[in-house]
Structure 1
Amino acid sequence: MKNKSKSLFLALLFLVTHVSWSQVPTPKEHFGFDIGDDYMLANFTQTEDYFKKLEKASDRLKLTVIGKTEEGRDQYMLIVSSPENLKKLDRYKEISSKMARAEGISEEQARGMAAEGKAVVWIDGGLHATEVVGIHQLIETIYQVLSRNDAETKRILDNVIILFTHANPDGQELTSNWYMREKDPLKRKNEALPRLYQKYIGHDNNRDFYIQNMKESRNMGYQLFVEWIPQIMYNHHQRGPAGSVLAGPPYRDPFNYVFDPMMVTGIDAVGAAMYNRLNAENKPGFTRLNGSSFSTWYNGGLRTTTHFHNMIGILTEIIGGPTPEEVPLVPERLIPNNNTPNPVTPQKKWHFKQSIDYSVSLNYAILDHASRNSDHLLYNIYTMGKNSIKRGSADYWTPSPKRVEEINAAYKADQAKAKKPEDANAFNSLYGGNFRGGSVPVQYYETVFEAPVRRDPRGYIIPADQADFPTAVKYINALVRTGIQIEKATAAFQVNGKSYPAGSYIVKTAQAFRPHILDMFEPQDYPNDFQYPGGPPVRPYDAAGWTLAYQMGVKFDRVLDAFDGPFEKLPYGQLQLAEVKAIAGSAGYEIGAGVNDAFVVVNDVLKAGGEAYRLADGRFYIPQSAKAKLSVEKSAKDFGVKVTSLSKKPSGTMTKVVPLKVALWDTYGGSMPSGWVRWMLEQYHFPFNVVFSKEIDGGDLRKKYDVILFVTRAIPAATAGGDMFGAFRGRGPKEEEIPSEFHATMGSITADKSIPELKKFLEAGGKIVTIGSSTNLAYHLGLPVRNALTELTAEGVSKPLPNEKYFIPGSILNVAVDTTAKASWGIAANTDVYFDNSPVFTLAPDAVAKGTLRPLAWFPNNTPLRSGWAWGQAYLQGGVAAFEANVGKGKLYAFGPEITFRAQSHGTFKWLMNQLY
């Protein structure tokens, strides 16, 4: 009887659970097709409805909204685990975040929390919306984890909290609707979108995570760096290298020198679980290491920023899409090697479902690894955090190539002084500062590498009395959004004999996310990386240097020794605002020229009907009026702008501020640099219109606009072969392939139609601002300037310097600035600029003497590198980085560096905004 009852109970249990599983709707029941069917995509509206159905159907799911997107949609994170775990989510979240921060936790407590807690794994999809495998694998994986009841899935649910995150709802809606607009499946194409798939920035949404300008970045950043702090995060992308199915971990060198080694080896462990599973399931084509271009050097990506927070950040780039494609024959990839141990053979038809199946297997590999190693993952992130705290609490030297070069140089110099040519000659084989085949006495490590002045700081002080403190606060908020502990001075204090005011911010390095702190304050030192000695350079994955404090022009002091003061620790995630109060003066208000947000205040005053003037040194003067008073007081409070009250009108020359009619160039499909500037102009409250090439070609520009802005890649080269993007011009879709509503945005800037109209615009008194490669306009106009980065061949022909001699990928350089020029009002005399193999000019001396041309910024020495990699930087000395030119009644402004780079380079924003009045 006992056995009968037990059997009946088990049968009933099976029936109940079976009914529960069967209630989880399949993707086909909801969407009308299986995920991975050829020629079929789901849009966000359908996906959102499916997520809501899943929440009602499954007790394994908690559906959460983490914020709104830039277009106003809900952004979802689906928390999946066992029903028992979901009841204790707050406790598991607490354990995950406490272990990551490692503050005040003993070894014994850490072991106990690691045993009690659950591994937290982030899996996202859809960030780059045209990479449609991303969101569709997410849908399919969620369904499988909710509906399957095999032993592996059960173990995963018992031991893992999964954060399934939709990275780009707006992009999915646009991309899927665009693809599915054709009734005939064979005509469907996942290309030629009419605009960027994330409002403003498109593909650059994966370059926004250390500053988090976009709403989606902030939504996800809060979950990653403040709220949950998962031990593993998996970021899905496309495309795999030709001849492979996908690229994944581990990644090629270099990795960033600030990392804890356990993060790097943690990637190795997760990578092994991923490719071993694919091999066991007979899914070949996984390439790693030097089989692809992906590294772990760069910060700023959704995956890469996690590396600086001791998380095991995983990226894969896979092939495939709804329209079947082929796996091409790349003969070199057919032979197994360490990069690709299990090559894939060429295939004429690769189906969408294959990519989905691969992706689900990869997800399960990570989840299985986490379920088997939950306690290890929690304990390891604790250990990495504790290591960071220890390094920030004692003397520590982060290694870098420059330190190695200094050791070698010191030893070589000593040998030369000691007249030991045989030892000195050993250095003749040095390349790029690397000593090969020999050793150096240990004393050089102690005296050179560990020189006291070269040790890492214990912390940084950001004074509250710097000229553009509101921008410094924005920098602090970027750190806050990435989970950094911030302290604030409640009273004036001194450190090392220097006085600082109350309200100054302090960032100490004795905290778990120390790698990220160093990366935001300290210069990156990218190694000299060449295909072979004397050969061409290997381009970094994205940027080589980006130090955010440099880009934003933030003033700070590095403090090498332990220090303290009247500091209060701010709660994690608490955003800051510069605390000011504008007090009315009888004559009005004054704001310094160096404050970026002064433009917000002035624009709001003008919009309210008040007046504003600029003094001879660029300061703003706002006369007192009822309209101005209300606007100034509100803007000053909202943006933290320090406003000086005036009892009398300033003396001297002043110019009335008149808002200009501004046009910002854009193109069909959207320009990311233009989108960033569009976002910037909105943040600083500038009115503007977007202009496309057809309108420019139509003429009469001066009747409609006062200023036209051309971001990089808008103006083609004046001579064939001079523009790296020239080969792609004119390859866009034909008008008959595109709905008529988008025809006005099609076309591109051309020498025969567009340039003559731009010349007329300038001659009639218009202003044109060009950035990056769009400074090509100077050559189209025949101005007396030439490329400064050239050399004469043996035949006497001038040619651009080859990459073997000169190569500066995205890095921070320092330039000297003519601060007396109105165009440069508020810019520091020595300013850091973001430089990405940017144009550099030589100006004709007679044109400068006559005033036709005026240099605004130049390279005063042969070592302008501040952060990143600058091979052959000596060639820059004397070159002009920016200039203005008189053209008829108008002016052309040419800025070679990326002065608006990804809306991060606040230190050079004024070079744009000064020209808009």
Structure 2
Amino acid sequence: MLRKSYSILLLLLSATTVWAQTVPSPKEHFRFNIGDDYQLANYTQTAAYFQQLAASDRTALVDIGMTEEGRHQYMMIVSAPENIKALQQYKDISQRLARAEGLTDESARQLAATGKAVVWIDGGLHATETVGTHQLIETMYQLVTRTDPETMRILQNDIILLTHANPDGQELVSDWYMRTTDPKKRAMNIPRLYEKYVGHDNNRDFYMMNMKESQNISRQLFVEWIPQIMYNHHQRGPAGSVLAGPPYRDPFNHIYDPLLVTSIDAVGAAMNNRLNVENKPGYTQRNGSTFSTWWNGGLRTTPYFHNMIGLLTEIIGGPTPETIPLVPERLIPNGATPNPVVPQEWHFRQSIDYSVSLNYAVLDYAARYRTELLFNIYKMGKNAIARGSADHWTFYPRYIDSVRMAYKADKKTDSLKERETGGSEFSFGREDTIASKYYAQIFNNPAYRDARAYIIPADQQDFPTAVKFINALSRSGIAIHKATAPFTVAGKQYPAGSYVVKTAQAFRPHVLDMFEPQDHPNDFQYAGGPPIRPYDAAGWTLAFQMGVQFDRILTAVEGPLTQLPYGQIESPLPARLPVAKKGYLVDAAVNNAFIAINDLLKAGVKVSRTSDGTFYVPTGTKATAILTKAAAELGIRVQAATQMPAQLKSISPLRIGIWNTYGGSIPAGWLSWLMEQYHYSYNMLYSQEVDKGNLRKKYDLLIFVNGAIPDTGKAKRADSKLPKPEELSEEFRPWLGRITKDTSIPQLKQFLQAGGKIVTIGNSTNLAYHLKLPVENALMEPDKKGELKPLPGTKYYIPGSLLTAALDTTAPENWGMRARNDVYFDRSPVFRLTPASAGMGIRKLIWFADAAPLHSGWAWGQHYLKDGVVAFSAPIGTGTLYAFSTDIMFRGQSHSTFKLLFNQLYK
């Protein structure tokens, strides 16, 4: 019997070897080895290679959707042939364990014993980080052709989802790099963003999922496969290292299951260990890099909120050889970098080899701990369901601060007595203990409980935007219930069509994160020292950003509710157009209204606005047809006007220019996407066109996003990475250049004086200083010499967070807005209007009325914001400057502030 089994094994290995010999190697297909210096494959070549690998019985090639530029986005599934034949079975097991619904520990262990570890490995999200796509190709080839015991064990126990994250970007970057005949002159200085709209921010889109690629990827991660481990390849490693990887530095988000944090540590140890076994130094972790596990929204971080072990490595290398620089402090072995790398020349293939080793480390770990990984994701899901089914308190820093404050309020001893009776330096930490009753005061207090559910009423003013919020949750695999009839909770009645999101579900951390304020801890390099910048945003609560009205419910919610299928996309509740003899009234508080208005204007229909900003549309065949469609498809509730309103102001479209630059501006890309979603027409405007002048002949309104207008100081050095004009074709030469103080600003001033309108966003509000308007920087204080200086980080620091601001709702610029609204604030400019501003007609639009405006995130020294202005309008000649220092269109997420832009886009 043993001899027969051995013969069968030899036969299988022989067949596998024969097949492997027929698979073209990367060298045979691409005409170079993956990792050869000065060589890159484009996506057309790569997709063709995927098709060839798809002939293997170890693979299944899946088209997960179309990209923004219309390419097919592929995911290659690799596993043992018998697993490939049973993919649906293993997908079902993965889903059931991840969602943890209706399972006991015993049944979960049985499923875990039957299932396969599902591991996601991607590449190419950031297309100029070329190691990512090329390690993906090499890893596929090795997994499909190798027959060593480790590979065979991996294939037997793992299902590997190898996913191309950005096909469009690979095509652009590789073609651009390879266009130069002389290999040593090849460069990455691409002319535009490597994702059609958002470039690098395609890794900031994974809880909103605006981009098609994000939607494709998220469906596989959060709805279809729900892998236990996902590995996101990036560049680049910190100077003096080869790569940064897990485990990561603090803080981690407080709503994670602790099992997630320790699991990241475990896989990170396996990755680091493998490199050390293979004599591959230079791995740095924890405080050796800037990467943390606090933020949601990245391809690697959003999975954390779904109980997945998310891995990120940032490695050096590329097709052009480079040198690892000397960073003396990195040569001292420590917990962050136990095996330092010495300065040396570095080649592309070395980075590929490191990446394949890291992939194998993860896959080997998954194969060895298959049942543990499958059970653990169930366990985290079960824990989440339990927490959402009972009273639960999360240890947020603000609650811990409340414990300290309660203790201090009751303390009777003075500071001297406290020092006399406190612990000594040898008391092993007991000197900081306080009575446990203070814990009970906070964590038995019902006011501090986590929510059991969130109800989104269908009768709120901008319900279509609330539906977009629901769709973002659904794309992320969240369980959502919808009311089939009116129901009552806590004495309040909700209409049919309302949504209920319960927290008793496996992905509870993501639910909390989308509804609750983030509470980032005060994080400084040392006591009294400078702040440590968060990896990305500190606060982002999506419901706040989108202006969604919801009720936070502390008890179980029951009623006529039906659960939507996972991943289902909802449409706004259709409305019927009323019969109107005179005209129609369209509410400007509803974002989708602007889509309908733009469609009306493009059709030649007359549109006006009333004194409060409501749109008025006279009856007519075209108007009726467009508004009927908008009511049905966009959920716009249109009212019939019984008479023509008084004080109507006719509106018409503007000729709009959006500033952009060579290489592509990410904020400009987001803006262009937003304009297209809401049916605005626009042209891209580059600095050379500004400098030529006569802007008024072509444009009515110009938009300068964050990063466009320089400050008033000395001119910055030209970017040495930009190509010279003679190195570019005629198509791209006009894109070179920057807005300058001496040449560009006078042209913008002339444009304004001639009746043009300019909208500035973020630090492009610097234009107000260039124009010498009577406004000042509100974040200054006198130093010891009495000279005004910017507030230091030890006193004031507000990274990306949501702050609540006051608005003048009578101003036409703010029509449709609430009197208090959250704004996305990221070290944004804050102004003080001088007494002379009133005489010039400058109008304050948005300001901080409170000394503590923080709603979500981190704000150190926020009292300095009191009365600070973050938006104003200023007449200049016959034109107008609009200054919005906060990001009113932040990554296509801040729907509640979109109207601050839209209102300015009409004549």
* Length-normalised TM-score, structure 2: 0.97
Aligned partners of 1:756 and 1:246: how far apart in 2?
47
Letter in structure 2 aligned against 1:902: R
The DSSP-based 3-state class of the residue aligned with 1:287 is strand
1:597 match: 592
Alignment equivalent of 1:586, drawn from 581, 588, 611? 581
Aligned partners of 1:159 and 1:135: how far apart in 2?
25
Post-superposition Cα deviations, 1:510-549, rounded to whole Å, max 9, x if no partner, equal 0000000111100111111111111111100011111111
2:789 match: 799
2:103 match: 105
User: Structure 1 residues 8 and 851 mapped into 2: Cα distance closer, same or farther (>3 Å)?
Assistant: closer
Deviation at 1:737, TM superposition (A): 2.7
Deviation at 1:16, TM superposition (A): 2.9
2:737 match: 747
Aligned partners of 2:5 and 2:99: how far apart in 1?
47
2:878 match: 889
Letter in structure 1 aligned against 2:138: E
1:548 match: 542
Post-superposition Cα deviations, 1:113-146, rounded to whole Å, max 9, x if no partner, equal 0000000000000000000000000000000000
Structure 2 gaps, min length 5: 424-428
1:898 match: 887
Aligned partners of 2:4 and 2:454: how far apart in 1?
70
| Paired residues for 1:167-246 under 5 Å | 167-190=165-188, 192-246=189-243
Alignment equivalent of 2:656, drawn from 637, 647, 662? 662
2:617 match: 622
Deviation at 1:720, TM superposition (A): 3.7
| Paired residues for 1:124-139 under 5 Å | 124-139=122-137
Letter in structure 1 aligned against 2:841: T
Structure 1 gaps, min length 5: 430-434
Aligned partners of 2:176 and 2:673: how far apart in 1?
24
1:832 match: 822
Aligned partners of 1:423 and 1:397: how far apart in 2?
34
Deviation at 1:457, TM superposition (A): 0.4
User: Structure 1 residues 304 and 436 mapped into 2: Cα distance closer, same or farther (>3 Å)?
Assistant: farther
Deviation at 1:13, TM superposition (A): 4.8
The DSSP-based 3-state class of the residue aligned with 1:762 is helix
Alignment equivalent of 2:262, drawn from 242, 262, 265? 265
Post-superposition Cα deviations, 1:673-703, rounded to whole Å, max 9, x if no partner, equal 0000000000000011111111111111111
Aligned partners of 1:625 and 1:10: how far apart in 2?
78
User: Contact 1:543–1:811 (CA<8 Å) still a contact in 2?
Assistant: yes
Aligned partners of 1:563 and 1:198: how far apart in 2?
42
Deviation at 1:577, TM superposition (A): 1.2
Q: Greater shift after overlay, 142-151 or 579-588?
A: 579-588
1:381 match: 377
2:289 match: 292
Deviation at 1:708, TM superposition (A): 0.3
Are 1:814 and 2:814 matched, yes or no? Answer: no
Aligned partners of 2:852 and 2:819: how far apart in 1?
17
User: Contact 1:121–1:230 (CA<8 Å) still a contact in 2?
Assistant: yes
Deviation at 1:4, TM superposition (A): 10
The DSSP-based 3-state class of the residue aligned with 2:432 is coil
Deviation at 1:325, TM superposition (A): 0.6
Alignment equivalent of 1:559, drawn from 546, 553, 556? 553
Letter in structure 1 aligned against 2:630: S
User: Structure 1 residues 325 and 591 mapped into 2: Cα distance closer, same or farther (>3 Å)?
Assistant: same
The DSSP-based 3-state class of the residue aligned with 2:627 is helix
User: Structure 1 residues 471 and 730 mapped into 2: Cα distance closer, same or farther (>3 Å)?
Assistant: farther
Deviation at 1:633, TM superposition (A): 1.4
Deviation at 1:857, TM superposition (A): 0.6
2:35 match: 36
Aligned partners of 1:680 and 1:33: how far apart in 2?
41
User: Contact 1:582–1:644 (CA<8 Å) still a contact in 2?
Assistant: no
User: Contact 2:422–2:431 (CA<8 Å) still a contact in 1?
Assistant: no
The DSSP-based 3-state class of the residue aligned with 2:306 is coil
Alignment equivalent of 2:896, drawn from 894, 907, 911? 907
1:518 match: 512
Are 1:533 and 2:533 matched, yes or no? Answer: no
Aligned partners of 2:4 and 2:530: how far apart in 1?
77
User: Contact 1:604–1:635 (CA<8 Å) still a contact in 2?
Assistant: no
Alignment equivalent of 1:471, drawn from 441, 453, 465? 465
Letter in structure 2 aligned against 1:717: D
1:456 match: 450
2:58 match: 60
| Paired residues for 1:249-260 under 5 Å | 249-260=246-257
Aligned partners of 1:427 and 1:893: how far apart in 2?
60
Letter in structure 2 aligned against 1:812: L
Deviation at 1:611, TM superposition (A): 2.1
Q: Greater shift after overlay, 577-586 or 871-880?
A: 577-586
User: Contact 1:806–1:875 (CA<8 Å) still a contact in 2?
Assistant: yes
1:432 match: none
Deviation at 1:641, TM superposition (A): 1.7
1:855 match: 844
Post-superposition Cα deviations, 1:821-853, rounded to whole Å, max 9, x if no partner, equal 0000011100100000000001012322x3521
Are 1:770 and 2:760 matched, yes or no? Answer: yes
Letter in structure 2 aligned against 1:261: P
User: Contact 2:583–2:644 (CA<8 Å) still a contact in 1?
Assistant: no
Deviation at 1:797, TM superposition (A): 1.1
User: Structure 1 residues 108 and 784 mapped into 2: Cα distance closer, same or farther (>3 Å)?
Assistant: same
Q: Greater shift after overlay, 615-624 or 207-216?
A: 615-624
The DSSP-based 3-state class of the residue aligned with 1:916 is coil
Post-superposition Cα deviations, 1:210-253, rounded to whole Å, max 9, x if no partner, equal 00000000000000000110000000000001111000000000
| Paired residues for 1:319-330 under 5 Å | 319-330=316-327
Post-superposition Cα deviations, 1:743-782, rounded to whole Å, max 9, x if no partner, equal 0111010111111111011011111000000000000001
Are 1:732 and 2:729 matched, yes or no? Answer: no
The DSSP-based 3-state class of the residue aligned with 2:493 is strand
User: Contact 1:412–1:424 (CA<8 Å) still a contact in 2?
Assistant: no
Letter in structure 2 aligned against 1:86: I
* Length-normalised TM-score, structure 1: 0.96
1:638 match: 633
Aligned partners of 1:8 and 1:638: how far apart in 2?
65
2:426 match: none
Q: Greater shift after overlay, 591-600 or 649-658?
A: 649-658
User: Structure 1 residues 426 and 544 mapped into 2: Cα distance closer, same or farther (>3 Å)?
Assistant: farther
Q: Greater shift after overlay, 628-637 or 262-271?
A: 628-637
Aligned partners of 1:593 and 1:425: how far apart in 2?
62
User: Contact 2:60–2:77 (CA<8 Å) still a contact in 1?
Assistant: yes
Letter in structure 2 aligned against 1:272: A
Aligned partners of 1:904 and 1:345: how far apart in 2?
44
Letter in structure 2 aligned against 1:77: M
Post-superposition Cα deviations, 1:83-114, rounded to whole Å, max 9, x if no partner, equal 10011110100000110000011222111100
Aligned partners of 2:769 and 2:13: how far apart in 1?
77
Letter in structure 1 aligned against 2:358: L
Q: Greater shift after overlay, 811-820 or 793-802?
A: 793-802
The DSSP-based 3-state class of the residue aligned with 2:246 is strand
The DSSP-based 3-state class of the residue aligned with 2:54 is helix
Letter in structure 1 aligned against 2:878: K
The DSSP-based 3-state class of the residue aligned with 2:596 is helix
Alignment equivalent of 2:863, drawn from 848, 851, 874? 874
Letter in structure 2 aligned against 1:872: G
Are 1:444 and 2:438 matched, yes or no? Answer: yes
Post-superposition Cα deviations, 1:717-764, rounded to whole Å, max 9, x if no partner, equal 01249xxxx567676332123333200111010111111111011011
Deviation at 1:651, TM superposition (A): 2.3
State how many pairs are aligned.
900
Deviation at 1:6, TM superposition (A): 8.9
Deviation at 1:419, TM superposition (A): 4.8
